[in-house]
Amino acid sequence: MSPIHAAREYVLEAVQRPALASALPESTKAKVRNSNTWLKQFKRVGDLYAYLQRFSTDKQDGIYLEMHALGLQTFEDIVKPFGERFGDWVGDRMRASDFVIGETYSAYDILIFSANYDTRAGGMFVIESGGQPTAVVIKATLSGGRYANEWLDQGRRLKYFLKSKKLKDGRVEFGEKYKPNAAILKIPNLPVLAFVRQKAQGEFIYAGAFSKHDIRREADGSKWFDLMLASSDEVVADAGYVQQQLQDHVALALTQSQQQRLERLAKAPKKPKIIRTVATAFVRNPDVIAEVLLRAKGKCEGCDQNAPFVSKATGNPYLEVHHRKPLAQGGYDTVANALALCPNCHRQNHFG
């Protein structure tokens, strides 16, 4: 059984099946069935884990209380054991580089990548890293409705209306302040990942990564982005994936003969190819870092040697805080799960 099949089965066995076999009201069971629909859509364990984590904070939710009253487990209850059981895979999530131009994807695929689990959501989603936008995802339908998007140059130039809201007086506001609109307008060359379909029903075709060429305003107050397809050397990829791919290629190159390497070097371009990357990052707790550094008292907790130098930024001995169990594998951002290490020991823990 593949990791994602095992992960889905775990959730079904721990929460879903007992809930549907219980005395819960039918209205609540309908919501359980809806979440079953979502469970079927996940292709990676990390994306399912991110979905479950949404339920790990509000324990005053009505469904949570109803299920606990009957002795049933909820998503909130299984987040931690899920992370422990599938720790080797919880960092495996959909990446921008997974999408292939011309291939077909469901609305669920797009929503899961965007970490938005509401099928009624609009057509624009902001992808963030460290609280900053790194890309915008758009779903573009090319027919139907008052404001229909369209190709200005098939596959290369897209007319796409800004996110809008209908006001109480019946007017439609194309607010440049709305988050996805603002991200595209304020950040030069921000990648816009475009998924396009002809009609309002059915799946989407990935058209590629675009960037804002202009914003146009019509006489009726509507506004649209003039989006241009990024050139082939501006392909969007996941930063972590790019780094891992480099490490894998280096390892392979080291096993080959010098002649093979020199032959490739003779043909290789002198300037490296440039690509845009979308990064995923954890928002770290600064108090954990501070406590671990103070605990270390300037000595590496790996080799027990003094820190190699003093940081210009802080004036303190330079050590790096490392998680014993990586956050990407479900580790906790806690003092108990962290060590203060010198750069050598830190690299040894990652690559040794």
Residue with the bigger pLDDT between 267 and 247: it is 267
Provide the pLDDT for residue 252: 84
State mean pLDDT over 56-69.
78
Helices 45-53 and 75-85 meet at what angle, rounded to 10? Answer: 150
The span from the CA of 91 to the CA of 11, in Å, is 18
Query: Does residue 237 register a pLDDT over 80?
Result: no
**Ranges 114-123, 207-216, 266-275: which has the least confidence:** 266-275
Provide the pLDDT for residue 139: 95
Query: Does residue 4 register a pLDDT over 70?
Result: yes
pLDDT band at 213 (very low <50, low <70, confident <90, very high): very high
Query: Does residue 81 register a pLDDT over 80?
Result: yes
State mean pLDDT over 136-151.
88
Provide the pLDDT for residue 86: 92
Provide the pLDDT for residue 114: 93
Q: Are 213 and 226 in contact (CB under 8 A)?
A: yes
Query: Does residue 260 register a pLDDT over 70?
Result: yes
The percentage of the chain sitting over the pLDDT mark of 90, rounded to a whole number, equals 57
pTM over 0.85: no
Q: How confident is the prediction for the chain on average, in pLDDT? A: 88
State mean pLDDT over 201-228.
93
Q: Where are the beta strands (DSSP E) in the chain?
A: 104-105, 124-129, 132-141, 150-153, 157-161, 165-166, 172-173, 192-197, 204-217, 223-229, 236-238, 276-278, 320-323, 338-341
Please give the helix or strand (H or E) that residue 34 lies within, else none: helix 26-39
State mean pLDDT over 228-257.
74
DSSP 133-158: EEEEEEEEE-SSSSS--EEEETTTEE
pLDDT tens digits along 325-348: 988 778 898 999 999 999 999 999
The span from the CA of 51 to the CA of 7, in Å, is 12
The end-to-end CA distance of the chain, in Å, is: 30
**Ranges 151-165, 188-202, 229-243, 246-260: which has the least confidence:** 229-243
Provide the pLDDT for residue 105: 94
The span from the CA of 142 to the CA of 125, in Å, is 18
Q: Which amino acid appears at position 348 of this protein? A: Q
271-295: burial string, b at 16+ Cβ within 10 Å, e else: eeeebbbbebeeeeeeebbebbbee
Provide the pLDDT for residue 299: 96
State mean pLDDT over 116-123.
87
Provide the pLDDT for residue 148: 86
pLDDT tens digits along 273-317: 766 666 666 778 889 899 999 999 999 999 999 999 998 888 899
State mean pLDDT over 65-83.
92
Provide the pLDDT for residue 199: 85
Please give the helix or strand (H or E) that residue 35 lies within, else none: helix 26-39
State mean pLDDT over 129-147.
88
pLDDT band at 322 (very low <50, low <70, confident <90, very high): very high
